[in-house]
Amino acid sequence: MGKGRLEAFSDGVIAIIITIMVLELKVPHGAEWATLLPLWPVFLSYVLSFIYVGIYWNNHHHLVHTATQVTGGALWGNLHLLFWLSLVPFVTGWMGENHFAAVPLACYGLVLFMCSVAYFILATCLAANNEALKIALGKDRKGKLSTLLYAVGIGVSLVTPMAGFAVYIFVAMIWFVPDRRFERR
C-alpha cells in the first residue's frame, strides 16, 4: 500500500486535534490585562500540548516519509497513535482547568506515555519492511528515554504536581532539538 493516504489521514486528524485544543480556550470577560491572569494555567497547558502535538506531527512526517512500504500492521499502529493523540485535548483541558492538580496532571502524563508507546509500535511496524527506516531509527535512545521520563513524570505528578509538569516540559525540550536521524536519509 502507498503511504500517501496514511500521511494525509494522519495530517487531517492532527489538524483537528489542534483545532479542538484552540477552541477550548475561552475568551476572558473583560478588556483589562488582569482578566487574562486566571487563564494562565489553561493557556500554559495549551502551549505545552500544542508543542507535543507538533512534535508528533513532525516526527510522524519524517517516519512516514522515510518508509517505502506501509502494511496493515502499520495502519493499525498509526490508528493506535492517533487514538492516544486524540485524547490530548481532553487531558489538556482537564489539567489546565484544575490548575495542574495531581490526578489530571498524572493522566496527562499517562496520555503522553501511551502516545510514546504507540509511536514506538508504529515505528516498529514501519521499520519491519523498510531497511532505510530501520537504520534511521537506530536504537531510538531519545524515544526510550522519553517513555521512561513520562513514567517518572506520572509518579512525580501524584506527589509533587509541578515537578511532574517540569518533567513533561523537559521531555518536550529534548524533542525541540531537531531529530537529524531522518534528515540524513
pLDDT of residue 173: 96
* pLDDT tier for residue 134 given thresholds of 50, 70 and 90: confident
pLDDT at residue 136, as a whole number = 84
Contact between 106 and 157 under an 8 Å Cβ cutoff? The reply is yes
pLDDT of residue 183: 63
For residue range 97-125, what is the model confidence (pLDDT) as tens digits?
A: 999 999 999 999 999 999 999 999 999 99
User: What pLDDT sits at residue 68?
Assistant: 86
pLDDT for residue 55: 95
> For residue 20, what pLDDT is reported?
96
pLDDT, average across residues 77-99: 97
Site of grid cell 495531581: 102
| Predicted local confidence at residue 69, as pLDDT | 87
Higher pLDDT, 155 or 62: 155
pTM for this model (two decimals): 0.93
Percentage of the chain surpassing pLDDT 70? 96
Contact yes or no for 25/46 (Cβ under 8 A): yes
In angstroms, rounded to a whole number, what is the distance separating the alpha carbons of residues 91 and 127? 30
What are the backbone dihedrals phi and psi of residue 184, each rounded to the nearest 5 degrees, phi first?
-80, -15
pLDDT of residue 93: 96
Distance CA 58, CA 55 (A): 5
- Residue the block writes with cell 498509526: 78
Does residue 179 register a pLDDT over 80?
Answer: no
Determine the average pLDDT of the residues in 120-135. Answer: 90
Residue 180: pLDDT over 80:
no
Q: Is the pLDDT of residue 5 over 80?
A: yes
